[in-house]
């Protein structure tokens, strides 16, 4: 199967490719080709066109706020070979690290009052190790019944005949699930503040599609302060009970590892890590649950198969062991993540010169890895634009091709909570389809996958489903 575009980078079919040709020495390697036309790093179709034209490495110019932080010209790595390369080149567990992302995250860290914290190096590796248990799928699979109940409490209030915005409702579900199961404290009345904080920091400090002045807006500043207030409340509530009665969850791991500061004030690292799962869930599990619902409602045959699996699951014990055997639901969830993986750009700075696919990346160059380009290549995922719930089952197993499938990123910063997010998406959608008869948006308004919650997925509520 071809895994690179037909520009001299292809690996043809047959008995299998031979050993890769050695890269030229750094001093002899040419610079990457420059994209012939202007475009935006936020325009996936443009990046795929560039990949087709130039291969897995090319240069593009980017004016505006992004240039203010990253420079006006940067190197793009895209496609399966780029994903495979980045797995090692940006891994904190490798001694020969070529790419670091800490510069790109400086402004975001500042908004969390973590100016001295870096997202790279030994300290960050220790933090990821410390939180790996709290973010593991097993942190929620023992409480699937509670997760279902939080969904039911929210969506069973949807009224027949109404047009409903899905993302805001699922954000309330996800914040309840993550708040109660990971830090023992629900978001409650702080949900709107979490949403404002996440959306503003995303566009102003990471994507830089809005000017940094957005961080000075009074509404944002109030929301940021209330996010910290929520973190304080969660920590105080946990410390109010004897330590030997603390549950085995993420917050307990954090309080055990990070000492309190003067006057028993939480350190910036402890505070950020406490609210971290709530911030992350609003951009992952919430939107991905809604996108999966949208895809299924527009594919009635797939929806019927998933609904049958959901009904079968609800007919017995509500356990993860039973739900993970719902093959159609799992395949639907995986293809929704392929089509709509969420933030799918990772910015780096080259910390040493290196050669990738015959082209030189210089020390200090700004590099962006676009890891979802591979998700939209027909040579990896036949009819890639189509939603197909059977891609991931034998004998196809399309996601198993090297570098093809990376919905949660690549390298040293893949999402720690990916297993929890997958579980939430499956539980949320199974519960909704079991209880409700839904239809696609009755107004037929195209949704904006990158927009705010109110401009995302809408559904029509037909009615409540009845079961024997």
Domain ranges of the chain: 26-464
The strands making up 458-464's β-sheet, listed across from edge to edge, are 163-165, 458-464, 436-440
In this predicted structure, what is the pLDDT of residue 206? 80
**17 Rama class: left (phi>0) / alpha (psi -120 to 50) / beta:** beta
In angstroms, the CA 334 to CA 306 distance is: 13
Q: Which own/partner pairs from 318-324 qualify as long-range (CB within 8 Å, at least 24 positions apart)?
A: 318/144, 318/145, 318/148, 319/141, 319/144, 320/137, 320/141, 320/144, 320/423, 323/144, 323/426, 323/427, 323/430, 324/426
Residue 58 forms beta bridges with which residues?
76
In angstroms, the CA 187 to CA 167 distance is: 16
In this predicted structure, what is the pLDDT of residue 361? 96
Q: Please, which pLDDT band fits residue 1 given cuts at 50, 70 and 90?
A: very low
In angstroms, the CA 279 to CA 84 distance is: 28
Q: Which of 156-170, 200-214, 283-297, 324-338 has the lowest mean pLDDT?
A: 200-214
8 A C-beta contact, residue 140 and residue 433: no
In this predicted structure, what is the pLDDT of residue 70? 66
What average pLDDT score do residues 441-460 get? Answer: 81
Is 26-464 a CATH 1.20.1530.20 domain? no
In angstroms, the CA 241 to CA 252 distance is: 12
Residue with more model confidence, 4 or 90: 90
**Bridge pairing between strands 366-370 and 436-440:** unpaired
Mean pLDDT score across all residues of the chain = 89
A 10 A CB-CB count for 396 gives 14
Q: Please, which pLDDT band fits residue 5 given cuts at 50, 70 and 90?
A: very low
8 A C-beta contact, residue 210 and residue 204: yes
In this predicted structure, what is the pLDDT of residue 238? 96
Percent of the chain exceeding pLDDT 70 equals 91
Residue with more model confidence, 112 or 439: 439
Over 80: is that where the pLDDT of 338 sits? yes
**Bridge pairing between strands 458-464 and 354-356:** unpaired
Tracing tokens 């000017």 back to the chain, one arrives at 211
Over 80: is that where the pLDDT of 198 sits? yes
8 A C-beta contact, residue 384 and residue 399: no
Q: Is 248 exposed, middle or buried, given 0-12, 13-18 or 19+ CB atoms closer than 10 A?
A: exposed
Q: Please, which pLDDT band fits residue 24 given cuts at 50, 70 and 90?
A: confident
Within 8 A by CB and 6+ apart from 98, the residues are: 89, 90, 350, 351, 352, 354, 361
Alpha-carbon distances of 156 from 146, 169, 252, 447, rounded to whole Å:
15, 11, 33, 23
The strands making up 73-78's β-sheet, listed across from edge to edge, are 57-61, 73-78, 366-370, 345-350, 99-100
In this predicted structure, what is the pLDDT of residue 116? 66
- Rounded to a whole number of angstroms, the CA Rg of the chain reads 23
Over 60: is that where the pLDDT of 18 sits? no
Give the closest residue to 252 by CA, choosing from 243, 263, 261, 260.
243
Give the closest residue to 188 by CA, choosing from 234, 220, 135.
234
DSSP state of 158: P
Q: List strand residue ranges (DSSP E) for 343-453, in order.
A: 345-350, 354-356, 359-361, 366-370, 436-440
Over 70: is that where the pLDDT of 12 sits? no
What average pLDDT score do residues 2-17 get? Answer: 38
DSSP states along 174-232:
HHHHHHHHHSS---GGGHHHHHHHHHHHIIIIIS--S-GGGGG-HHHHHHHHHHHHHHH
In this predicted structure, what is the pLDDT of residue 7? 37
């Amino acid at each position: 199967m071809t895994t690179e575009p037909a520009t001299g980078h292809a690996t043809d079919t047959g008995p299998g490719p031979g050993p890769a040709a050695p890269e030229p020495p750094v001093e002899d390697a040419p610079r990457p080709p420059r994209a012939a036309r202007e475009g935006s790093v936020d325009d996936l179709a443009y990046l795929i066109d560039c990949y087709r034209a130039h291969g897995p490495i090319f240069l593009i110019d980017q004016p505006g706020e992004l240039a203010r932080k990253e420079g006006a010209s940067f190197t793009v790595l895209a496609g399966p070979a780029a994903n495979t390369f980045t797995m090692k080149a940006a891994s904190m567990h490798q001694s020969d690290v070529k790419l670091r992302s800490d510069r790109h995250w400086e402004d975001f860290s500042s908004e969390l009052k973590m100016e001295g914290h870096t997202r790279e190096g030994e300290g960050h590796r220790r933090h990821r190790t410390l939180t790996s248990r709290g973010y593991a799928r097993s942190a929620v699979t023992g409480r699937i019944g509670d997760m279902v109940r939080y969904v039911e409490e929210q969506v069973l209030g949807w009224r027949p005949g109404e047009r409903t915005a899905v993302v805001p409702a699922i954000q309330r579900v996800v914040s309840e699930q993550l708040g109660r199961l990971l830090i023992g404290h629900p978001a409650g009345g702080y949900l709107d503040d979490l949403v404002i904080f996440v959306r503003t920091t995303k566009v102003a400090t990471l994507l830089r599609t809005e000017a940094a002045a957005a961080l000075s807006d009074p509404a944002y500043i109030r929301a940021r302060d209330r996010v910290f207030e929520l973190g304080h409340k969660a920590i105080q509530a946990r410390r109010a009970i004897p330590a030997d009665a603390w549950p085995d969850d993420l917050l307990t791991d954090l309080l055990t590892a990070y000492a309190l500061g003067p006057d028993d004030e939480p350190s910036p690292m402890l505070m950020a890590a406490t609210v971290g799962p709530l911030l992350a869930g609003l951009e992952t599990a919430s939107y991905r649950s809604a996108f999966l619902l949208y895809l299924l409602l527009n594919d009635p045959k797939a929806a019927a198969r998933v609904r049958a699996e959901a009904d079968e699951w609800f007919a017995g014990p509500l356990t993860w062991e039973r739900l993970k055997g719902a093959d159609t639901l799992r395949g639907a969830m995986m293809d929704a993540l392929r089509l709509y993986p969420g933030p799918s750009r990772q910015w780096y700075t080259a910390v040493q010169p290196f050669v990738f696919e015959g082209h030189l990346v210089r020390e200090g160059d700004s590099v962006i890895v676009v890891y979802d380009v591979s998700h939209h290549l027909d040579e990896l995922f036949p009819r890639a634009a189509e939603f197909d719930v059977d891609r991931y089952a034998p004998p196809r197993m399309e996601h198993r091709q090297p570098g093809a499938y990376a919905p949660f990123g690549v390298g040293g910063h893949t999402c720690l909570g990916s297993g929890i997010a997958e579980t939430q998406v499956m539980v949320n959608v199974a519960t909704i389809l079991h209880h409700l008869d839904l239809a696609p948006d009755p107004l037929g308004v195209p949704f904006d996958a990158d927009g705010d919650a109110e401009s995302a997925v809408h559904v029509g509520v037909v009615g409540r489903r009845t079961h024997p």
